[in-house]
Structure 1
Amino acid sequence: MPGIRFWVLGPPKDEKLLKKSNPSQNTAYGLDAGPGGSQALLIAGLKSNMGAAAGALLPGDSLEDPFDAMYSIPMVRAEHVPFFEKRYYGDSTDGNLYEKATSKEIHDQSWRRIDTSWMGASETMALQLDSATNNTSLVLAIERIATGEILLFPGDAQAGNWLSWQDLKWETGEAGGKKTVTGPDLLARTIFYKVGHHGSHNATLKAKGLELMVNDALVAMIPVDHEMAVKKRWGRMPLPELVDRIKEKTHGRVLKVDDDVKAPADLAKLKPANVSPEDWKQFTDRVQVTDVYYEVSF
């Protein structure tokens, strides 16, 4: 794309930073407790039912079943052991089992078995995996070469991702010779920031993030509907303290998808008291408002 350069900031290549989701120094990132945690039964079930394919998905994991083979009875044999056949596989004949609601005698005993219970952990694991993918977000800093201005799109990048940008360094061939570009340099030249992860508490760092965005033309956009976030029990999304600081850094040039803005004229009511009408008009003239999105020109 002529005149445009893409800088890839994330995801981090350092596994420790990849797993670090929270800014707190002592908080690491992980999926539950690993193979020994609540997902152990799920992992064992996957391996038993998928064989080598599941093993390929879980390299280095030696967990097979919750008990050693000498203490186990294979399922194909258990079906023919009189004790199990009578109580778990065959029909009940003792006449002691009844449905509470209908008083109907129960013959099917499959409800006693737990051989598919491992599947019950799949929903929890799926939710955890969804959370774990945040820090693997592709982070792009898009540069307009003529001006050096940056549009920053961090996706759902969290603390470890942001920290990794501090050590990034590239050499570029400019007209006046080689030039070194760093992660902090790109942040300093940022004029548009798509606020990370809906403005959550761990997706915009302070000293090594927002405070490095010193360009006076900075504009921010926050893609979150607070009312819906509350329904999902994310009551502090976007984080009020973060929103306040972003408004200070941008002189009020913050666009939120849940603002009551239906037309360009509605942007007037968002003008901060300390911003002149002329400066605010220069900003709003660059904003196109539709029913489903904002468009900002630079």
Structure 2
Amino acid sequence: MNLLEKIRGGIIGVAVGDALGVPYEFLSRDEMKERPVKDMVGYGSHNQPPGTWSDDSSLTFCLMEGLLEGYNTKNIADKFIAWYDESYWTAHGNVFDIGVTTRQSIFYMKKGHTPEICGGMDEYSNGNGSLMRILPLIYFIKNTENIDERYQMIKDISSLTHAHLRSVIACFIYVEYAIELLNNSNKIDAYQITKNRVNTYLKTKGLNPKELGFYFDILESDIHSIGEDRISGSGYVVNSLKASLWCFINTDNYKDAVIKAVNFGEDTDTTAAITGGLAGLHYGLDAIPKAWRDKIAKYNQIEDLIFRFYKSLENETQNKTI
């Protein structure tokens, strides 16, 4: 697959996973066992028609648009504000789902604070609100060879809404793994390489060992080998990252990966969006069921944004070689 197809797979993968999970959000794992997801439906928890994506995809699209003219966190923050205030990049013209930490961060952005310090910094601000939208950054920084530069950019983009180290680490692991997947067709090999790189790097930064300990199952153990009973679909960022990696690595196609994610219950749309980004990037757009893609709200507008994003990356690369 060329880069455009990998962008299409990843971004549409986020939106489809998101829309698949929207009707089931807040249902428990036991409730999902009684009525497991098998296809894309509508209504349910948020009373939205089939193919409706939530804040996960909205903020993913806003991040993409904010990166069209280069790396500028103020531009990205302005897109987030437009989403919240004007329903910009919403599926049907209304914001029906937003996390507390994200809402508070946008309040600070509107006050004119430096975007990178608007995110929640306390331990209780570790929902999955930055992890769910981080995927576009991988395409933007994939050729940045200096890991310090990559880490700082990931940190800044997470910190727009979620500035606590735990959320930053989750985004760093996810982005580094996704970058590796761009170049490595074996997802287990890519995972082992990522583990080694992330471990080596984070241990040089003198971070609080307690924070690294939260990611033991990913960085020290093998996430795909742990029991399903230890995977949670909650909105806590550590659980979301664990669940998405577990679902992606333990399946061999897009459909099964996102269905597993939704069937964990709780934060179904976000777990499936995060999983779907990896699976779509890895397997490609054609691996995402066409019947699901055909239901996605504003599909043509999303494809147009993807193409504009791709062209901006192409131009950036050309400018660097001149």
TM-score w.r.t. length of structure 1: 0.29
TM-score w.r.t. length of structure 2: 0.28
More helix by share: 2
More strand by share: 1
- Structure with more contact order per residue of length (Cα contacts < 8 Å, sep ≥ 6): 2
Q: Which has the larger radius of gyration?
A: 1
